[in-house]
A and B are shown apart, each in its own frame.
Chain A
Amino acid sequence: MAVTPSSLNVEIPASAPARRHPKIDLRVVDPVRAAIRDGSVIGVRRTTLSGNDAVAKGALEVGARFFAGYPITPSSEILEYVAKHIFRCGGTYLQMEDEISSIAAAIGAALGGVKSFTATSGPGFSLKQENLGYACLTECPLVVVNVQRGGPSTGGPTDVGQSDVMQARWGTHGDHPVVVVAPYSVQECYEETIRAFNLSERYRIPVIVLTDAKISQMKEPVTLPAQDAIPIVNRAKPIGTQQGYEPFGLSPTGIPPLAGMGEGYRAHFTGLYHGRDGLPTRDPKMIEEQMLRIHAKLETPTATAEIRKTETYFIDDADVIVVAYGITARAAKDAVVQARREGLRAGLLRPVTLWPSDAEVLPEVLGRVRKVVVPELNLGQYITEIQRLAYESARRNQIVPPEIVPLNRVDMQLISPAQILQELRS
């Protein structure tokens, strides 16, 4: 799903006189806001939230009714928001004794039939990895929020980082499918959390929401849809006879329906390789079938269209682009606007879904630009994926790949628009 520049409607006069502080209208023309103004929708809410509160609010509004967590800076506000509000929705909040039991309890509740999530930051995310693998193999719908901070180890608890990008993809051992989304604003924290729950329910997969210390703590005005206008996906349940129900069976969509425990269907889950019935197996054919199936379920055309999401910004005629995600994309957007003012044909690609990477939009754009700048608050993680896609695209189309330039910061400071602009100019 691509966000086209037309929906962002940035006005840049073609012959703007050079001013020291050029006025640039970065306002996003939001159809919802427009509709509120002309009175054609009711129930839309406008408020101010922090990133952490937006994540928690989104989760509760999309139907999450179980949360298990453990205090860790800078994600503790999610815990506190949920503790305060989930009981009003009839849900349960538990503060567990550590990070491992937090995700384990969320897995238990999710397999028990309740939408569940947990939230943490870097060190806690490391502790959760084994359980994350279990959730992948048992195809457990689950949302894990990781508010990134400086790492490794305790690192900078109150400082910003983007160094969990690779861990979110490959943190647990073994081949496993996973979906990772990276919001870049408070508004998107809310929206992407809702989308994360919907993807996890639809595809029976853990989805990781990767925010960071800055987005999580800052407050922004947000426009939330009316309660009954929130898109809600619930997991497919088996219908018909209980005899012969296969929780890991083959189905036309590739996603077997999931019966909650205690709903009359046989429930048998294990982290061992298992067959279609959920019982352990050592049959090579069955192991291969299941391993390939859990990966293939994200590769169908419907899944690809729903999961992948990249914002393109001034991309159509760009010859030098920035690929940025999360907090860094905010600076990148500013840099692109400034570069356009200077007459550079600059653009921005912002992967909202980081993993699986957008194999449609990214290679297409990377195949027709001269230079790519990849700013990240780490020592170069997502750039490796950009390189892979760019080189593969170049090889396939027999063209020269673009120059791919990293722009990294690990001093717990944000990358500034000026830094990105400098890279765009050179």
Chain B
Amino acid sequence: MAHQQIKFYQTGTFTVGNRLLDQQLRTVQATADRSNSLDSGHRACQGCGEALGARFAIDAAMRATDNQLIATNATGCLEVFTTPSPESAWRIPWIHSLFGNAASVATGVAAAMRVKGRSEVRVIAQGGDGGTTDIGFGCLSGMFERNDDVLYICYDNQAYMNTGVQRSSATPGAARTATTQPIGDQPGADFGQGKNVPLIAMAHDIPYVATASVHDLHDLEAKIIKAMALHGSRYVQIFVPCPLGWGAHPQDTIKIARMAVECGLYPLFEAEHGEITNATKIRSRVDVTEYLKIQRRFAHVFKNPDQLAKIQAIADANIQRFELLSTVGNGQ
């Protein structure tokens, strides 16, 4: 795949990286004929990871489908900031469904295209982590089970940002939100068993599951393009830092996204039909404290070694499980 041929120095800064690449290896965004399906002028906050991730994902999907794309969108930040009254940033057929039903509505749209004999028109469904892992989870699982021809993209910013930063089942342990304990022995979100939706999606044996991050947009685009080349249910979860909800500087969005991956807390991998086919190796491992200390939502963990150890253990477990370090497991 194209993205594997790119050296790190070429992607270090995205703009420069593109200039150094061959024409055909450049990203969709770098080309003049990009579709701009999620247009400028929307009302996302400064440094919004979701706006960046969505723009790259949608344009890549448009390229892959020859501009034959319909999108459904669950209630959430993406829906709100792209459609401020009385405007819309969307240049494709776009349905704001409800909070929990984007997957099911997309199923219906895909069925309509099939009935009309327009199978070249492809459908994507989008939602935040709340609309995907919580209230929309039933619809999503049903879509996987029926293997409907829909790509579901989850923009994971790890809480309900639109309603004011309440915890979701994607909120990591110890992260402070408006509805978690502000004080006490274990402030912040509980360390539950976690709800790893990519792994749950894999358990449905669907054709393609991937996680991506906004710090590696070549990889993100490649995964979306690959997903659109397949038929059946596909799931891509994109890590999108939220400066407002995470208490981070807007200029640190990419840095945070990179660190989450490089410390092992957010493994990037691809899976086909329930089997992991590719996991992005950690290039230069960073300590979880480096990742945590630039976010105010984790400010209290530095006074709580117990919580810090738990977070480190999660990162270690991920590294072990997905063989993220080349020295671990079989290696390469």
Contact = CB atoms under 8 A, between A and B. Distances in A.
B113 interface: no
B163 A98 contact: no
Nearest to A93: B179
B108 interface: no
Nearest to A94: B179
A153 B97 CA distance: 9
Contacts of A64: none
A98 B100 contact: yes
A200 B163 CA distance: 30
A328 to B, nearest CB: 24
Interface residues on B, range: 20 to 34
Interface stretch (B45-53, B147-155, B164-172): B164-172
Contacts, number: 46
Interface in A67-84: 70-73, 76, 79-80, 83-84
Nearest to A87: B181
A71 B164 contact: yes
Contact of B160 (A71, A83, A87, A123): A71
A71 B180 CA distance: 13
B135 A80 contact: no
B178 A80 contact: yes
Given A73-B163, A99-B135, A154-B98, A83 B169 contact: no
Nearest to A74: B163
Interface in A254-303: none
B54 to A, nearest CB: 19
Interface string B178-195: 111110100000000000
B137 interface: yes
Contacts of B130: 71
Contact of A80 (B100, B179, B184): B179
B252 interface: no
Given A79-B179, A80-B178, A97-B135, A153 B98 contact: yes
A76 B167 contact: no
Contacts of A97: 133-135, 137, 169
Contacts of B182: 84
A71 B137 contact: no
B137 A76 contact: no
B75 interface: yes
A98 B75 contact: no
B163 A83 contact: no
Given A71-B179, A98-B100, A76 B164 contact: yes
A127 to B, nearest CB: 8
Contact of B167 (A72, A84, A95, A123): A95
Contacts of A70: 134-135
Main secondary structure of the interface of A (DSSP, over half): mixed
Contact of A98 (B96, B134, B167, B179): B134
B90 interface: no
Contacts of B181: 83, 87
A72 B135 CA distance: 12
B81 interface: no
B99 interface: yes
Contacts of B75: 154
Nearest to A124: B99
A141 to B, nearest CB: 25
A205 B36 CA distance: 54
A131 to B, nearest CB: 15
Interface string A341-359: 0000000000000000000
A68 to B, nearest CB: 12
Given A84-B182, A154-B98, A98 B164 contact: no
Contacts of B179: 71, 79-80, 83, 93, 95
Contacts of B184: 87
For the complex of A and B, list the 9 residue pairs with the smallest distance between their C-beta atoms, beginning with the closest: A98-B135, A71-B163, A97-B134, A71-B166, A83-B179, A71-B160, A80-B178, A76-B163, A95-B179
5 contacts: A76-B163, A76-B166, A97-B137, A98-B135, A154-B75
Interface of A: 70-73, 76, 79-80, 83-84, 87, 93, 95, 97-99, 123, 153-154
Interface of B: 75, 96, 98-100, 130, 133-135, 137, 160, 163-164, 166-167, 169, 178-182, 184
Given A97-B137, A123-B98, 20 more contacts: A71-B130, A71-B160, A71-B166, A72-B163, A73-B163, A76-B163, A76-B164, A76-B166, A79-B166, A79-B179, A80-B166, A80-B178, A80-B179, A84-B182, A95-B167, A95-B179, A97-B133, A97-B134, A97-B169, A123-B99
